[in-house]
Structure 1
Amino acid sequence: MENLSPMMQQYFAIKEKHKDHILFFRLGDFYEMFYDDAVVASRELELTLTGKVCGQEERAPMCGVPYHACDVYISRLIKKGYKVAICEQMENPALAKGVVKREVIRVVTPGTLIESNMLAEDANNYIACILCDTKGWGLACADISTGQVFVSQFAASGQEDVINELSRYNPSEIIFNEGVLDQTAVTKFMKEKLHCLADLCDNEKFEPAVAEQLIVRHFSRELQDLGLQDKPISVRVLGALLSYLYETQQKGLERITGINCVNAEQYMVLDMTARRNLELTQTMRTGEKRGTLLWVLDKTKTAMGKRLMRSFLDKPLVNPAIINKRLNAVEELYNDLMLRCDLTEQLSGIFDLERLMTRVIYGSASPREYKSLEYTCRALPQLKARLADCRSQYLQEIERTLDPLEDLCELIGRAIVDEPPAALKDGGVIKEGFSEELDSLRSLVHNTKQILVEIESAEKEKTGIKNLKIGYNRVFGYYIEVTKSNLNLVPETYIRKQTLANCERYITQELKELEEKILTAGDRIATLEAETFEQVRVKVSAELHRVQATASAVASLDVFCSLATVASNNGYCRPDVNLSDEIVIREGRHPVVEQLMGGAPFVANDTALNRSDHMIAIITGPNMAGKSTYMRQTALIVLMAQIGSFVPAASASIGIVDGIYTRVGASDDLASGQSTFMVEMTEVAQIMREATSRSLLILDEIGRGTSTFDGMSIARAVIEYIADKRHIGAKTLFATHYHELTVLEDEIPGVQNYNIACKKRGEDITFLRRIVPGGADDSYGIEVSRLAGVPDWIIKRARQVLNQLEEGRTVSPAKKKPATEQGSSQISFEAIVPSEVEETLRKTDVNTLTPIEALNKLYEMKELLKE
């Protein structure tokens, strides 16, 4: 180390404290990286790797990025799973004595982003902290870009609860204690499902006394005031999370002003499997928003509203009072078109208050972002006034909470120019009239010539020297030049500076002071603008609570307007949400499929489930007929009702469900070596463990991944287990191809058979998409295969095999046409299988044909003979 240059010694001293981070080391206009950091960054960012002489024999590997464009490079590193420590120059290099003082001002990690260009505006970016010990589980999740913090604690057996909660928040970064390492289900979930950055956290951060002290100091409130007095595990996990944030952020954490203590019983249980199968926020196939329930419901106009809408879908409620309070707000907006249109138009001009305030508090907001804040404030009074006559409780609360922020609007309007530059360093940010000193300096810079002319005129008049003039050169600066013929008129206050052949040059104290002001005006203006801008920042930051409350109110209003708009445009009805055990839906429709059909009519279906005579609906029918769509639409209608949305139905009465559990489709989990059947049974086992009598179960094709008799046996046992109220006794939609299960309607109370109506004429089959009572009389597998384009030979052979099986005969092997000589007309009758014409004739019931259908059938058979 002693051979290193002083600057590199400073680098290594800082790097020692940030071994796990890529250190962005500020050197002038660049952030430089050295040694291993440089090698990694050059590879990941495709930068040229150079070298720097640092006092050792070998040059240090080095690469760098421009400081004004660092966000782009940091974002790419973060997405690749790295952490970046930003080391800034803490003094002006021009004034520094020796090595410029440098410090790490922030560590950027996936879970601590605040930069708008690194974040999705419609989704929160959470960092989570997990604690596991013998006393239970703790979970804390924070989005520092919005200041939201959620804290939960669970029993020692609550591993599945933790997984479910993590799937709600989908954090981009997780820290955890050593106890989590022994919980394979959670660690596997983090690694294989969340794909987030996960790090072990020091045990000291979870110490109760340390955590409590930090929480009390940060919030300036006692634990009981925060609702944490009887939640020791929540205290420890929250304290550890705050400690980590203080280490990485250094400043700005005053943005976190409160916490939400979450009780798992507040929300419907939705595990990751249910979210995926129901395609709430992203499709299973492409991972896109289009084709999801969020895509249908999200017609919000603000970024805050978009995030809240996603939160609504992630956390359906189970309290009918709060749900109906939401529904009342949606209904009022639904019924008042003019109110809804006015509010929607006004919301369109509102920027992201939550994240704007975060950047203001961090000191990273640009002048243009302050103007965005001002423009938002200008829209608030009109928005508040339009809500004045609303009658629903929620809308009245929004009106009371919504602060017009007129003082902030006035402050920013006076302080910052109407069209500010992108960055403070570009200058010209502070508006004229806000700072008297700044105005004076600017006037001096812009009117230097005029000021000098005025001084020159004044000196001429005072001295009587008519040809006196003021000039400037780089050596002496500003001077007064007097010809030798007028030297007798020079005042004593003039100080001789230079003698020339025909004249003398002088300076005065006034001119010297003016010169000093002019020469330093540029730097002083920049400094004064920065100081004034900081004063504005401090004043705006002080109003965080008011702005946050207004942001929450605007987000709620935006979501209600969106739900009302969607309900009006799509013909939804208000559901009756209650505490009964019934789900009764009349003419229900799938909200997403309906929108994807491009205006084609959707076949609506009824649903009736309860815990007595209609507990389990066994649904049979062919593939492609609509069983899965029907079951998913029922689950989505229930979920929509419990977030406070109108639903796609003629009417709906929804008894609160505490969780929706799905087993719909499965694929091999090759990464963990699990087959389709193993994945299926793992999901079934989890549902059987977690579902309660108040849950809604959606089970599709249980047991299909193994042999027919094994699969049918498992499927029957599952139905019997669910139907037994000593085990579960939950409302269930159960789709199956095992027609043998339809006998359960007569054997188990509460089991009802339903099927998808189909119309079959000859080999043609038409799916009517209608759910009707009773079991299906056929699976129509061969007909569906024909529709899918399976080759005709396979279809014919399948029918032949089916006929033999149905008649109880042994299946004969397929016969091949023997090789014959070229041009031979010899036919092997042994190779003949029934022709399509014969099959069509055999299958046709002439007694059911109308005259026109009979003619069409004849025409069809003639065409087959031509082929």
Structure 2
Amino acid sequence: MSDKSIASIANISEQDLLSFTPAMRQFIQIKRDNPTLLIMYRMGDFYETFFEDAELVHRVLGLTLTSRSSTNSGTRIPMAGIPYMTLDQYLVRLVNQGFSVGICEQLGTPGKGLMERKLVRTITPGTLTDESLLNDRSESTLLAVYIQGKGSAVGLAWMTISSGVFKAMETTEAGLLNEIERINPSEILIADHDRELAEERFPDRSVSALPDWHFDRIRAEKTLLKQFGTSTLEPFGIADSDLLITAAGVVAEYARSTQGTDLTHITAITRETDNDHLGLDAASHRNLEIVRTLRGEQTNTLFSTLDHCRTAMGSRRLASWLTSPCRDQSEATKRSDAVEILLGSMEKLENINEFLKSIPDFERTATRIALGSVKPRELAALRDALPSLNVIAENLSDLDSELLKETAEELPLPEELYQLLCASLKKEPSTFIRDGNVIAEGFNAELDELRALKNHGGQFLVDYEAREKERTGIPNLRVEFNSVQGYFIEVPKGQIDKVPADYRRRQTLKNVERYITPELKAFEDKAVSAEERSKALEKQLYEELILKCKPFCQDLLNSAHGVSALDALSSFAQHADTYRWIKPNFVPVTSVEIKGARHPVVEETIENYVPNDCDL
């Protein structure tokens, strides 16, 4: 390489590669294996980007663009980095602009040869699960579109990893845009040969084109059978559709690859049909401004007007109901009956809403338990909320509504989970396990001992000082600690003639002498390493706790389903009470008759709204 700088990996030949440092050769290989990803490469306390990735984050994020010498000949390459502690805030900005990011972590031990690094996680717009990257009240949904040929049916499969939703349906090319508008995916997967079609039909969506061999029916079926742990797809209603099997397999495989771990909370897939929801074309979805205005804003929409939900789970359920209106008249009737019952029990409704305020987003907590990425405070919030679920269930149990009774049965969680979390977690644990102070006292004897050592010795120092006073006959002898000298025995200068032979002088001050003994030095060695050892043990115990919580993931998702439905119904009830809405009567004929109709959004924005009748 004669140039003194190089900006692109594409310009590096195999011979040139040999001149790069081992760390950079490792990066180049990872980047070549994942050319569509922006690679964040961990080096010490920073995630670094190189070559064209560095120039991209310089433009998009405004990071300072520097360079480094990474070859034996001194050739410089572009570089831009961020401190590892601030990774999430930059990931949010990148993903919101449609970029997919690969996180490469250090797996080796510092100072012991070349540090091994591996791509451990991929962050894409449709596969977000991290709390810091997700919007509380909307979903990150991954959709695969499989078209067998022009004019043929289209297979759709979509997954929301953060809530465990996995669905599929067949549609037509004519209906494709309508379904995409309804599902509102954050990322669309297509076969590479359909790339031009995607650019033409949905240019404003984030699209990832995969090699055509990903869309192989046999490969897809194997993926799904492994995902569900079954020998057949018959129980899920998609076994008769090659389109759905292929699309669903692509989604499952892609989602699994981005998380770097099994999606154990995804245990089934639901097949939808056109009869499940009211058909709305893409233009109607946009013009009705259900969740977004024509300008793309989220205020002054039908959803923002009706959303009085106390939980993020409830808001997401409400948005789902509004964007995919139920076509089943019996289900719609059950919902309106439940709202009527809640309106007739306002005292109970207010009580339920107060308890709902204390419920965290444990639907997403369940997902992060399954993925092994749940944070200590999420588990603590879940623990603190479990008693409230039982109280809410009790409040619902005597209400005369089929839907509310079904919901009451879904809410309670196993007492075993509550006892496990109570016994294992501190009342207010640290945010991150790396900081320690997460596992409760009394949960593990070895951890308690290490903590006692870490906290300046605890009872040992008290007992040791008492023994030394008795042994030496020095009544004002003291055993002390400071961060500079460590542990020492402090003796007044007037008493040093009583100092035993095994005392070794550590420091001389004006009025006192400081000593160390073999026993105290041995204790010091243990105490100095105690913090590191206690954090390592605490991390191990926390990982074991997550494993113990994993069997409860399906219970958590079922309970979350009940909470979200109740919250959405309560939101309807509150709005109906405030604006004096009247329960509709559903009839088995094609007609709409409304007296004194009011537009929910417009009514809030003008002073003198005039109701209108509607007879169709």
TM-score (norm 2): 0.88
Structure showing greater Rg: 1
Are 1:570 and 2:579 an aligned pair? yes
Corresponding residue of 1:603: 611
2:268 aligned residue (258, 265, 270): 258
Long gaps (5+) in structure 1: 610-867
- What is the CA–CA distance in structure 2 between the aligned matches of 1:32 and 1:535, rounded to whole Å? 32
Distance 1:389 1:474, change over 3 A: closer
- What is the CA–CA distance in structure 1 between the aligned matches of 2:396 and 2:333, rounded to whole Å? 20
2:91 aligned residue (68, 74, 80): 74
Question: Which letter does structure 1 place at the counterpart of 2:567?
Answer: D
Distance 1:601 1:11, change over 3 A: closer
After superposition, the C-alpha distances for 1:509-530 in whole angstroms (9 at most, x for unaligned) are x556423311211111111221
Corresponding residue of 2:392: 383
1:3 aligned residue (19, 32, 35): 19
Cα RMSD, aligned residues only: 3.1
Q: What aligned pairs does 1:40-55 form with structure 2 within 5 A after superposition?
A: 40-55=56-71
2:46 aligned residue (12, 26, 30): 30
Q: How far 1:121 sits from its partner (Å)?
A: 1.7
Corresponding residue of 2:157: 140
Q: How far 1:601 sits from its partner (Å)?
A: 4.7
Q: How far 1:72 sits from its partner (Å)?
A: 1.2
Corresponding residue of 1:65: 82
Corresponding residue of 1:101: 116
Question: Which letter does structure 2 place at the counterpart of 1:24?
Answer: M
- What is the CA–CA distance in structure 2 between the aligned matches of 1:413 and 1:51, rounded to whole Å? 51
Are 1:119 and 2:134 an aligned pair? yes
After superposition, the C-alpha distances for 1:82-103 in whole angstroms (9 at most, x for unaligned) are 211100112442xx51012211
Contact 2:146 2:190 in 1 (8 A): yes
Q: How far 1:179 sits from its partner (Å)?
A: 5.5
Report the 3-state secondary structure (helix = DSSP H, G, I; strand = E; otherwise coil) of the residue aligned with 1:430: coil
Contact 1:484 1:504 in 2 (8 A): no
Corresponding residue of 2:305: 296
Distance 1:53 1:571, change over 3 A: same
Distance 1:439 1:590, change over 3 A: same
Distance 1:166 1:505, change over 3 A: closer
Corresponding residue of 2:10: none
1:39 aligned residue (42, 55, 61): 55
Q: How far 1:309 sits from its partner (Å)?
A: 0.8
- What is the CA–CA distance in structure 2 between the aligned matches of 1:468 and 1:338, rounded to whole Å? 67
Q: Displaced runs of 4+ in structure 1, greater than 4 A?
A: 459-487, 496-500, 503-508, 510-513
Q: How far 1:453 sits from its partner (Å)?
A: 5.0
Greater shift after overlay, 475-484 or 256-265? 475-484
Distance 1:180 1:525, change over 3 A: same
Question: Which letter does structure 2 place at the counterpart of 1:97?
Answer: K
- What is the CA–CA distance in structure 2 between the aligned matches of 1:6 and 1:151, rounded to whole Å? 46
Q: How far 1:21 sits from its partner (Å)?
A: 1.2
After superposition, the C-alpha distances for 1:229-249 in whole angstroms (9 at most, x for unaligned) are 222221111111112122222
After superposition, the C-alpha distances for 1:268-301 in whole angstroms (9 at most, x for unaligned) are 11111111222222223x4333332223322211
Contact 1:283 1:291 in 2 (8 A): yes
- What is the CA–CA distance in structure 2 between the aligned matches of 1:172 and 1:64, rounded to whole Å? 27
Distance 1:129 1:504, change over 3 A: closer
Contact 1:252 1:358 in 2 (8 A): no
Question: Which letter does structure 2 place at the counterpart of 1:169?
Answer: I
Contact 1:130 1:180 in 2 (8 A): no
Contact 1:132 1:179 in 2 (8 A): no
Distance 1:209 1:180, change over 3 A: same
Distance 1:567 1:466, change over 3 A: closer
Question: Which letter does structure 2 place at the counterpart of 1:412?
Answer: L
Question: Which letter does structure 1 place at the counterpart of 2:86?
Answer: A
1:278 aligned residue (263, 274, 288): 288
Distance 1:58 1:178, change over 3 A: closer
Distance 1:506 1:383, change over 3 A: closer
- What is the CA–CA distance in structure 2 between the aligned matches of 1:348 and 1:469, rounded to whole Å? 53
Distance 1:606 1:217, change over 3 A: closer
Are 1:171 and 2:185 an aligned pair? yes
Distance 1:467 1:47, change over 3 A: closer
Question: Which letter does structure 2 place at the counterpart of 1:359?
Answer: R
Distance 1:252 1:243, change over 3 A: closer
Are 1:533 and 2:548 an aligned pair? no
Corresponding residue of 1:318: 327
Contact 1:163 1:189 in 2 (8 A): yes
Are 1:20 and 2:36 an aligned pair? yes
Q: What aligned pairs does 1:535-574 form with structure 2 within 5 A after superposition?
A: 535-574=544-583
- What is the CA–CA distance in structure 2 between the aligned matches of 1:33 and 1:595, rounded to whole Å? 49
Report the 3-state secondary structure (helix = DSSP H, G, I; strand = E; otherwise coil) of the residue aligned with 1:542: helix
Q: How far 1:46 sits from its partner (Å)?
A: 0.7
Contact 2:162 2:363 in 1 (8 A): yes
Are 1:332 and 2:348 an aligned pair? no
Contact 2:51 2:78 in 1 (8 A): yes
Contact 2:169 2:272 in 1 (8 A): yes
Distance 1:57 1:215, change over 3 A: same
Distance 1:347 1:499, change over 3 A: closer
- What is the CA–CA distance in structure 2 between the aligned matches of 1:499 and 1:82, rounded to whole Å? 58
2:107 aligned residue (58, 80, 90): 90
Distance 1:393 1:467, change over 3 A: closer
Question: Which letter does structure 2 place at the counterpart of 1:177?
Answer: A
- What is the CA–CA distance in structure 2 between the aligned matches of 1:485 and 1:422, rounded to whole Å? 52
TM-score (norm 1): 0.63
Corresponding residue of 2:174: 160
Distance 1:465 1:181, change over 3 A: closer
Q: How far 1:578 sits from its partner (Å)?
A: 2.4
Q: How many pairs does the alignment contain?
A: 589
Question: Which letter does structure 1 place at the counterpart of 2:128?
Answer: L
Corresponding residue of 1:798: none
Report the 3-state secondary structure (helix = DSSP H, G, I; strand = E; otherwise coil) of the residue aligned with 2:610: coil
Corresponding residue of 1:269: 279
Contact 1:207 1:236 in 2 (8 A): yes
Corresponding residue of 1:346: 355
Contact 2:488 2:516 in 1 (8 A): yes
- What is the CA–CA distance in structure 1 between the aligned matches of 2:85 and 2:515, rounded to whole Å? 46
Are 1:203 and 2:215 an aligned pair? no
After superposition, the C-alpha distances for 1:694-724 in whole angstroms (9 at most, x for unaligned) are xxxxxxxxxxxxxxxxxxxxxxxxxxxxxxx
1:215 aligned residue (224, 229, 233): 224
Q: How far 1:366 sits from its partner (Å)?
A: 2.7
Distance 1:40 1:179, change over 3 A: closer
Contact 1:378 1:406 in 2 (8 A): no
Report the 3-state secondary structure (helix = DSSP H, G, I; strand = E; otherwise coil) of the residue aligned with 1:520: helix
Contact 2:472 2:498 in 1 (8 A): no
Report the 3-state secondary structure (helix = DSSP H, G, I; strand = E; otherwise coil) of the residue aligned with 2:543: helix
Q: How far 1:6 sits from its partner (Å)?
A: 1.8
Contact 1:131 1:179 in 2 (8 A): no
Question: Which letter does structure 2 place at the counterpart of 1:561?
Answer: S
Greater shift after overlay, 412-421 or 463-472? 463-472
Contact 1:478 1:507 in 2 (8 A): no
Distance 1:294 1:473, change over 3 A: closer
Long gaps (5+) in structure 2: 1-16, 508-512
Q: How far 1:472 sits from its partner (Å)?
A: 9.2
Contact 1:306 1:559 in 2 (8 A): yes
Contact 2:488 2:514 in 1 (8 A): no
Corresponding residue of 2:595: 586
Greater shift after overlay, 143-152 or 404-413? 404-413
